[in-house]
Structure 1
């Protein structure tokens, strides 16, 4: 390399390190005019392209560099991150593997390989890669943060906090670490500590809209509604198209009884929303407010998100706060009608497994279905189920070639308005004398079902009678009970037991 080229390259690297990307790029290109196959210039141009968000150009330039010298681990490592930005996870892993084959102690490649695995949902494998990076460099702040985030995603928040705290001893002014730490505290329902953490984030980065939104959610959980509203409004002022903030703003206003303002917030969220699943949740909230037509059922993503959030404290909240009675009431009702010998039992919307203790003693096989992976994780810990499946009820039932002696659905149909498909699917997998027991919230309105402002459906008894007759069931027991409490008021439910004829 000539002295002139060397000097130009050093100037370019100096500019690059100072964040002067345009000046660095111009000098790298000047090097290439003289030496078109200059590895460092091509490789570093690839890095600049990635920094600018042009992953496709980054891949092109990095592959050009590798074609010149395939023995440089750094180029393979950088190619991996660019490929990951394009969503090409398997190709990214292959690039990291090549980098690590050339340089086994390449801590950054282990960390970035962990990020790719985490994006693929392979969390234990991701943790293994972060561990490798940290064994090579125990003071690797980014790897500590990433390992903590992976543990967050596994609901291991106490372990995550240990990593975040250690990372903060190394870089105490890092807003990303403070944010991740606050989020784990929020997930642990340590709302005051979480709010304090988000305040630190906002001190370091005043326009951090996610911190403002999450701060608002914590305040909402603490029923400090006015302060929550202020936090959402700050986030929206900075980012007017922030759909999540508008949605949570609407939820808070609804809890305050400010229905018109809540509807306006939901409508604004809808206007900015480009995600079909998120839009379904917003429209569901509007339907519950009576603004648009009632959908046939709750959006699957709404149910999954709702119960994923509840999973770790669901039983405590239902039993101690809401005085939830349905599993005991329903299990007692169906026990009078099931056959004496053990049978094949199905728990629809099984949640954390509150019905399992009642069903297990008489079940030869007990299967649970739910839309929330995290609820199923809690159900799995009971050890009472033979099988657990994450699926939508009707879809799963349609695929079965087995018959069930008992199907039970405790507080599940409050998230399904039109029950015709569920009844048809259940009837298909039940022989004569099989038992179908479930609960629904009551309504005395003439409609078959209504969607309440609580975002839960209520069904008329006349509708349930028609469905039973249509799908070959006979009602053998029906009662009205107090299912739970909501804001201090009793919520009434029908407890029904049907026999397949």
Structure 2
């Protein structure tokens, strides 16, 4: 990527209004996780007068990606919306739009975006996406639409049985509706796929605690803290568990 950035810089030095060079430089910088510099390059590409305007589509997406990585979700959404106005037919854009709206706490808007992404993929005969169905299920958990959430998450698992986040979320929705033994089965599958997921070990600890299986709860929470010693939910839960055992 360093050689690519050098080539883009040379092109820009020869002609500063070269849109493609600015956009490509922004893309390369984003790939290198230099998001502030990527944002500057993509902004420069957007500022240029490019005809037809659809060529700005990638620059707006580039800017949105850099802003999302910097956790500046509102301006990221504005930039992505500008890209969607130019090209409303990319399901990936609606997936990202759903993620940004979720990050902003706009869960119903997020669900609408993810529905649009699913619809576009079907219209365009694209293969089903485990990520998309899992994300939609997670949003439905926030909206307390638990049956629909479980349906989407299980669809994600059918698409890709090795997709750990879907097993984690299946455990979460089952735990939420009180199906604790089934939740443990899902969490077990998640930890088998990814033994270092401290969130899942913590969640397993919660479920074991509710089932009054305190020894197993302690083992799970200790495992979470072995992976991430400063993870506060696991710290708090382990302290509460030990107080419970002592009393």
Tell me the TM-score normalized by structure 1: 0.41
Deviation at 1:11, TM superposition (A): 1.1
Deviation at 1:48, TM superposition (A): 3.5
Aligned to 1:15: 32
Paired residues of 1:100 and 1:109 also in contact (CA < 8 A): yes
Deviation at 1:183, TM superposition (A): 1.6
For residues 109 and 29 of structure 2, the distance between their equivalents in structure 1, rounded to whole angstroms, comes to 30
Deviations 1:42-80 (A, max 9, x none): 224323333443332222111111011111111111111
Deviation at 1:7, TM superposition (A): 4.0
Pick from 64, 71, 76: which aligns with 2:82?
64
For residues 201 and 38 of structure 2, the distance between their equivalents in structure 1, rounded to whole angstroms, comes to 32
Q: Is 1:25 matched with 2:39?
A: yes
Higher helix share: 2
The residue correspondences of 1:161-172 to structure 2 (distance < 5 A) are 161-172=184-195
Deviations 1:5-35 (A, max 9, x none): 564244134223xxx3323323333433445
For residues 183 and 27 of structure 1, the distance between their equivalents in structure 2, rounded to whole angstroms, comes to 46
Deviations 1:391-435 (A, max 9, x none): xxxxxxxxxxxxxxxxxxxxxxxxxxxxxxxxxxxxxxxxxxxxx
Q: Which has the larger radius of gyration?
A: 1
Aligned to 2:116: 98
> Which 5+ residue runs of structure 1 have no aligned equivalent?
225-501
SS of the residue corresponding to residue 246 of structure 2 reads coil
What's the RMSD between the two structures over aligned residues?
A: 2.2
Aligned to 1:217: 240
Paired residues of 2:25 and 2:38 also in contact (CA < 8 A): no
Paired residues of 1:15 and 1:23 also in contact (CA < 8 A): no
CA 1:188–1:48 in structure 2 vs 1: closer, same or farther (change >3 Å)? farther
For residues 226 and 59 of structure 2, the distance between their equivalents in structure 1, rounded to whole angstroms, comes to 39
Aligned residues: 221
Paired residues of 1:148 and 1:161 also in contact (CA < 8 A): yes
CA 1:181–1:26 in structure 2 vs 1: closer, same or farther (change >3 Å)? farther
Deviations 1:298-319 (A, max 9, x none): xxxxxxxxxxxxxxxxxxxxxx
Larger relative contact order (Cα-Cα within 8 Å, sequence gap ≥ 6) = 2
Q: Is 1:181 matched with 2:204?
A: yes
For residues 8 and 53 of structure 1, the distance between their equivalents in structure 2, rounded to whole angstroms, comes to 21
For residues 28 and 167 of structure 2, the distance between their equivalents in structure 1, rounded to whole angstroms, comes to 33
For residues 87 and 242 of structure 2, the distance between their equivalents in structure 1, rounded to whole angstroms, comes to 55
Higher strand share: 1
